[in-house]
Structure 1
Amino acid sequence: MTHRLSRHALVLGLAAALGLTGCGAGGETSSSPAAGGTGLEKTTIRVGALPVPDPVALYIAQAKGFFEEEGLTVEPVTITGGAAALPQIESGALDVSQTNYVSTFLAVSQGKKIKLVADMYQAAPNAFTIMVPKDSPIKTVADLKGRTILVNNLRNIATLAVTSQLKAVGLTENDVKFAEKPFPEMGNAINSGQADAGWFTEPFITANQKTLGFRTVADTMTGPTAELPIAGWMATQEWAQKHPKTLAAFQRAIARAQQLASADRKEIEAALATYTKIDAGTAAAITLGTYPSTLDAARLQKVADLMLEYQYISAPIDVKSVIASAAG
């Protein structure tokens, strides 16, 4: 079950938002059978996560002891992006990692043997927006023609979401120029004339509204991208096959935490303080998506189909084949 989280508007200091920090890595992981009779193939795993609201269930599960109850020790490791984490899970530096679904399906289309092991985050209204300075002549999506738009990654969820909005007004991705810039740097880059607009998510939407007076031109999660699945947890196919009991333990704990996040926003707000520098007032104000507790192939298929439509991939992907077995 998912629950649409409330959305508010509140003041946010840009320094707090741009100073996000995540939990560091711990020591060596264990590959021996778990002590205490749990039977896990591995009792300690390293899990990659971004210091943003999306993976909050990881930290809720930590705080509530859900992993511990499963006989599992989880060491969060800060990553820079889902695509960047792929080499880390392939090398074994990470056991499981956050990923966005566009990156996942791109990797699958290139022959990468990875599996989605749990859901994480789904779009909601006004959580992913195109923004411009308050005095910009850009008033509508149609006004973006010929303009430069900053995104955090090229040919990924950002450009896919923006392109879907361009199509609605008769434009294509070739009618604009996409340029890559990390979220914390986007606002100042646009303000200095390096670009005309940017694709933002929280807490950067609120940060740039408050500190730079930016305004929203369009919510990019409407129409074909409404309630679009955004992010999940991935592992390599080899790892999932080698560690079925460990994987099942992780899945059960994460599902419990996702359900808690869906039911009580206060749990999210409390957890954000433990792995980001988002203050309490901001945590109560930012616009959040939803936190599904099960991987639904039908929902995720929507992402793969959009990618095929916009030629991000050259052949259809059957999403069911990418999802790992459910927790036992």
Structure 2
Amino acid sequence: MAKHLGPAGLLALLALLAGGPFSGGIAARAGTPLAIGCTATTDCASAALGVEDGIFARHGLDATLTLIGLNSNIPAALMSGSLQIGGPTPSVFLQAVDGGLDLVGVAGASSTSPATADTAATVVRAGETVKSAQDFVGKKVGVPGIGAFLDVLFRRWLIGHGVDPAKVSFVEVTFPTMNDVLKSGSVDAVVTAEPVLGRIVRAGTGTVAAEFLADVPPKEPQILYAATRAWAEANPKTVADFRAAIAEAASAVNADPDRARAALSRFTKLPLDLVRTMKVSVSDPVLTEPGLAWWVDTMKKQDMLQGSLDVKALLVP
């Protein structure tokens, strides 16, 4: 499975540097045990604040939030029982289901918004001239995983601007090496996100050529909360309690992003001063059929899904 990383507001650079796929965690002790896993992104702010502020506990849940190094590890962790609920990107979730894993969406975590569209972009190497999508033809572009969230959405942007992605050479480049790879000329551009995006631009290594998230409709899912179908069907009350807690936490995140940043700092073990520089993704607890259908359509157009997925069946009622 390709490596998939989170969308707008990514802290994936530092997550990758944290060590293994599971490290750290915060917990709230009360009620039904519930293991939740997320990568180090602001997209899971509702889960982080839910634990930090005791929201899960008030809804009868003894929630433990564990830091996952790579988003693509989440489906396997759900299937193994290491997690009961995880926060995959839609591309990770749908490819896992397409590959035969019986997963379902439990709730929404975050959604796209014009307010956070500038947190990801394609950056071209200093000296390269890229004024339109057509100028990417023949270029070598580094992405944080073939088929990753950012890769999928950049290819969508190319298609929307009349460019066949097959005419662009894509290679995998990890977030920590993007600045150096771009500077060396090994690639002509990279598809990246904050905080790496800002660091590349400030260093003068590259310039922003395409803020492709600006072309994504608002309120499409960025991260969703998922579980195995077997667990969700066996634990309907826990699912209901989780949804209620996430809805309350999402409202708190959107109303007070600074409180969310403090919770994220503790969860990710990152300095609060660094987290304060990040835009917090819009928390959106509602996961809809049209939202997942949008991703299915987007991925089908890129030949990323082989089977026919019943979107309605992928959501817990």
Which bin holds the TM-score, normalised by the shorter protein?
Answer: 0.7 to 0.9
Residue 144 of structure 2 is aligned to residue 152 of structure 1: yes
2:291 to 295, 299, 303: 299
TM-score (norm 1): 0.81
1:132 to 124, 135, 147: 124
1:308 and 1:316 in contact (8 A); partners too: no
Partner of 2:5: none
CA displacement at 1:255 relative to structure 2: 1.6
AA aligned opposite 2:52: A
Partner of 2:40: 51
2:133 and 2:163 in contact (8 A); partners too: no
AA aligned opposite 1:218: A
AA aligned opposite 1:202: E
> What is the distance in 2 between the residues matched to 1:52 and 1:218?
22
2:71 to 82, 94, 99: 82
> What is the distance in 2 between the residues matched to 1:211 and 1:44?
46
> What is the distance in 2 between the residues matched to 1:188 and 1:74?
40
Matched ranges for 1:190-269 at <5 A: 190-223=182-215, 227-269=219-261
> What is the distance in 1 between the residues matched to 2:128 and 2:272?
31
Residue 312 of structure 2 is aligned to residue 312 of structure 1: no
Unaligned runs of 5+ in 2: 1-7
CA displacement at 1:84 relative to structure 2: 1.8
Paired residue secondary structure (2:24): coil
CA displacement at 1:158 relative to structure 2: 2.1
The number of residues matched between the two structures is: 300
> What is the distance in 2 between the residues matched to 1:152 and 1:277?
22
2:35 and 2:82 in contact (8 A); partners too: yes
Structure 2 CA distance for partners of 1:279 and 1:143, relative to 1, 3 Å = farther
Paired residue secondary structure (2:185): coil
Paired residue secondary structure (2:118): coil
Unaligned runs of 5+ in 1: 1-6, 8-14, 28-33
> What is the distance in 2 between the residues matched to 1:311 and 1:25?
36
CA displacement at 1:17 relative to structure 2: 9.1
Partner of 2:24: 24
> Deviations 1:190-214 (Å, cap 9, x if unpaired)?
2222222111122222232234553
> What is the distance in 2 between the residues matched to 1:16 and 1:161?
22
CA displacement at 1:45 relative to structure 2: 2.3
> What is the distance in 1 between the residues matched to 2:99 and 2:175?
27
Paired residue secondary structure (1:275): helix
> Deviations 1:240-267 (Å, cap 9, x if unpaired)?
1122222222222122111111222222
Partner of 2:176: 184
Return the structure number with greater relative CO, CA threshold 8 A, min gap 6.
1
Paired residue secondary structure (2:69): coil
Structure 2 CA distance for partners of 1:236 and 1:270, relative to 1, 3 Å = same
> What is the distance in 2 between the residues matched to 1:257 and 1:212?
39
Structure 2 CA distance for partners of 1:85 and 1:257, relative to 1, 3 Å = same
Residue 131 of structure 2 is aligned to residue 142 of structure 1: no
Paired residue secondary structure (1:217): strand
Coordinate RMSD, CA, aligned? 2.8
1:81 and 1:99 in contact (8 A); partners too: no
TM-score (norm 2): 0.84
Paired residue secondary structure (2:43): coil
2:183 and 2:205 in contact (8 A); partners too: no
**Structure of larger gyration radius:** 1
Residue 111 of structure 2 is aligned to residue 117 of structure 1: no
Residue 153 of structure 2 is aligned to residue 161 of structure 1: yes
AA aligned opposite 2:64: E
> Deviations 1:132-164 (Å, cap 9, x if unpaired)?
233333343322111121222212322221112
1:20 and 1:51 in contact (8 A); partners too: no
> What is the distance in 2 between the residues matched to 1:319 and 1:263?
31
> What is the distance in 2 between the residues matched to 1:23 and 1:257?
23
2:111 and 2:281 in contact (8 A); partners too: yes
1:138 and 1:217 in contact (8 A); partners too: yes
Partner of 1:104: 93
Partner of 2:55: 66
